[in-house]
Structure 1
Amino acid sequence: MNAISATSSTAEANAIARAALRSDRFRLEREADWQRLEAIVTRMEKGRYRRLSDDDLLALPGLYRTVASSLSIARETSLDAATLAYLEALVQRAWFVVYGPRSSLWDWLRGFLGGGLSAAVRSIWVDVLIALAVMVAGTVVGWLLVAHDTEWYFSLMSPDMAGNRVPGASRAVLHASLFGNSGQSGMSVFAAQLFSNNAQVSILAFSLGFALGVPTLLLLVQNTASLGALLWLYNGKGLLIDLIGWLAVHGTTELFAILLAGAAGLHVGRSIAFPGNRTVLRAASEAGRRAAVVMTGVVLMLVIAALLEGFARQMVDQTFGRFVIGGFMLAAWCAYFFAFRGGANRVRRA
């Protein structure tokens, strides 16, 4: 028994020695490349790009592939744990240097607001004009429908949104819904519901664009038809200008966001319906990237609209002051989207 145990121990010791020797030989044969890659990665992580030679930069992709191959071999041959851990960490660090993002969140945000968003909006200007025409037409249709038959008002406006703003309401009731709320903090129930509705419309208008843009057009008409019905109601009591001022504070931002969301959805649908010389998949992919940039801006605009709706409109209790705020926001958005160029990379038009 002792002889058998001694033989087994000797065999085990020999196996360990051979494994250690194989691991040492593996490391010695490739360690120079590992160390060079580690030195390059360390300098790049610390931002010391000036200390890197042209040869190092040119060799970086090849060194990364070499070390990644070494890691694969080390896993297959079950080398020692220390070598495996070292190679895994080095390959992970090198991957971020070779293939990882080249800019920080701040750099991306600066590029996005510094020209990327406005360029994306300008690149879909045809769809913006189509969406604008549809929204104007929807408002007119809503006005005419309710003027012809007041029952349409209840079809276009949900009971929760309408509240006491219904046909037959007195001028005093409608006037009280526009003024005398400067002491309130935060959004009124109607304002919150209106914002929630418009946010849902913006998301749906974009997401339904893949169906050749038809559902997007219908959604824009339906949403603005309710606006036309509301305008008709207040016009009947001589409060049209006051209502427009009440809406202008946040509406010039919120409706602009809906306009851009609808245009983004139409852009995707139009690219699918008319891909030109491109394949449908490629056309949809390119349009989707541009539309995604626009929708990121739409989300930002909706947040700003919520702040204006919740606070600025409640604090300003005069129609003129509301027009000043709304007019300023509209001018600012138009200047940013259609006049501001910035220094960011331009988004190519379809």
Structure 2
Amino acid sequence: MIPPPPAATTAAGPSFSTSHFRAEREADWIAFDELLTKLERRGATALSSEELLELPVLYRATLSSLSIARATSLDRALLDHLEALSMRGYFLVYGVRETRLNRLRRFFLYDWPAAVRAVWKETLIIALIMLLGVMTSWSLVAHNPEWFYNFVPAELAGGRDPRASAEYLQSTLGHGKAAGDEETSGLHVFATYLFTHNSRVSIMSFALGFAFGVPTMMLEYYQGISLGAMMALFASKGLGFDFGGWLFIHGTTELFAAVLSGAAGLRIGAAVVFPGARSRLQAASDAGRTAGKVMVGVIIMLLVAGILEGFGRQLITDTALRYGIGTVMLLLWLGYYYVSRREDAT
């Protein structure tokens, strides 16, 4: 009498147990992991010819192990390990790795402008809020000059207040009789204050965006207050156009950067308030990636504004030329950000 064949489960059980499976294939996984580590740390030049030939073979062997592990429902820890190893191997063996130069090129050509375009609604809102701050202080100072002292501290005004003469105020703009005098050598103190103030408020506007965007909007409103007061002062003396040129040469870059920083903060705040189908944490995280790219650009813009303020404005005293440079800078930023371009394959 012929004995019955052994049950399928009897044969399959030991053959596909986790310990037996590991014993047969773990050496390949370890070898593959070591090659990937060497490739990550030192690049392809660190691998010998034999190791380069062995790399795709071990990759396919790992994929085969993963396929069997999934089909036979082996333990979850082993599946996770093989999936992570396979994914890591895919990116290192077949993935396209960019050089640092290419990453920088991609950021400046595509990622940064795309991030700014993504927050265009927030940019408009913040620009209107800052304009409201300028108009508020302008209106108050124009109707009652005593309001000026509430918006611009005396130590920063340096004599540039409602009691100053038009001649004195004109000299502080860099093209009056006393332009070379030490005590009236221009609005250097106020300019330094304005730049430092705008930079600090820009960073705070972004950092406080998570608080539903409310502190961000308040800070951006406050940012326009001192500027509007100073504009109203010079306009009251018939020097509004000259003061505008003094400000315009660097202000189109500096204030644009301030608006973008507020927009980045507001994007995060809006994501927290209106997360949609996502959790608030996930929505804030997604918004933060876009806002972070915008803020990298804001820092660069502030550096450019500092150069324009420190050199261009002091060396160029012609008001029309100041307006011209400021206008060119504004058009360059608008074109750079909002003229869409097709991303190339590099």
TM-score category (smaller protein):
0.7 to 0.9
Which range is displaced more, 202-211 or 145-154?
Answer: 145-154
Q: What is aligned with 1:195?
A: 195
> What is the aligned counterpart of 1:126 among 121, 125, 130?
121
Give the stretch that moved more between structures: 37-46 or 294-303: 37-46
For residues 58-110 of structure 1, what are the alpha-carbon distances to aligned partners after superposition, in whole Å with 9 as ceiling and x for unaligned? 718959x9xxxxxxxxxxxxxxxxxxxxxxxxxxxx9x958x99444322211
Listed as ranges, the matches of 1:10-89 within 5 Å are: 30=27, 34=31, 37-38=34-35, 41=38, 44-46=43-45, 56=56, 59=59, 62=62
Counterpart-to-counterpart distance in 1, 2:238 and 2:186: 28
Structure 2 partner of 1:144: 139
Instruction: Name the structure 2 match of 1:261.
Output: 261
Residue number among 81, 100, 107 corresponding to 2:102 in the alignment: 107
Contact 2:166 2:237 in 1 (8 A): yes
Segment of structure 1 superposing worse, 173-182 or 119-128: 173-182
Partner of 2:338: 338
2:209–2:267 contact (8 Å) kept in structure 1? yes
Give distance in 2, aligned partners of 1:114 and 1:339: 11
Contact 1:187–1:309 (Cα < 8 Å) also in 2? no
Partner of 2:21: none
1:116-152 deviations in Å (ceiling 9; x for gaps):
1110011111101111111111111111121233232
Of 159, 162, 172, the residue aligned with 1:177 is 172
Give the superposition deviation at 1:47.
9.4
Q: Structure 2 vs 1, CA of residues 36 and 331 (structure 1 numbering), >3 Å: closer, same or farther?
A: closer
Alpha-carbon deviation of 1:174?
A: 0.7
Cα distance, 1:342–1:311 mapped onto 2, change above 3 Å: farther
Structure 2 distance, partners of 1:61, 1:146, is 77
* Aligned structure 1 segments of 4 or more residues deviating by more than 6 angstroms: 182-187
User: Would you say the 8 A contact 2:29–2:58 is kept in 1?
Assistant: no
* Structure 2 unaligned residues grouped into runs of 5+: 1-25, 66-88
Q: With CA pairs under 8 Å and 6+ residues apart, which has the higher RCO, 1 or 2? A: 1
Task: Output the CA distance in 2 between the equivalents of 1:152 and 1:288.
Answer: 39
Aligned in 2, Cα 1:273/1:182: closer, same or farther, shift over 3 Å? farther
Query: Is the 8 Å Cα contact of residues 32 and 59 (structure 2) preserved in structure 1?
Result: no
Tell me, in whole angstroms, the C-alpha distance in 1 between the residues paired with 2:292 and 2:61: 31
Q: If the length of structure 1 is used for normalisation, what is the TM-score?
A: 0.72
Q: Within 5 A, what are the aligned runs for 1:198-209?
A: 198-209=198-209
Give yes or no for contact 2:208–2:216 (8 Å, CA) kept in 1: yes
Scaled by the length of structure 2, the TM-score of the pair is 0.73
Amino acid at match of 1:129: L
Does structure 2 conserve the Cα–Cα contact (< 8 Å) formed by 1:209 and 1:269? yes
Q: SS in structure 2 opposite 1:341?
A: coil
Q: What CA distance in whole angstroms lies between the structure 2 residues aligned with 1:97 and 1:321?
A: 54
The residue type paired with residue 208 of structure 2 is: L
Offset of 1:264 from its aligned partner?
A: 0.6
Structure 1 residues 58 and 119 mapped into 2: Cα distance closer, same or farther (>3 Å)? farther
Match of 2:154 among 159, 163, 166: 159
Amino acid at match of 1:298: V
1 CA distance for matches of 2:57 and 2:194? 55
Native 8 Å contact 2:202 2:262 kept in 1: yes
Question: Unaligned regions of 5+ residues in structure 1, if any?
Answer: 1-28, 66-93, 346-350
Aligned residue for 1:46, secondary structure, equals helix
Q: Does 1:278 align with 2:273?
A: no
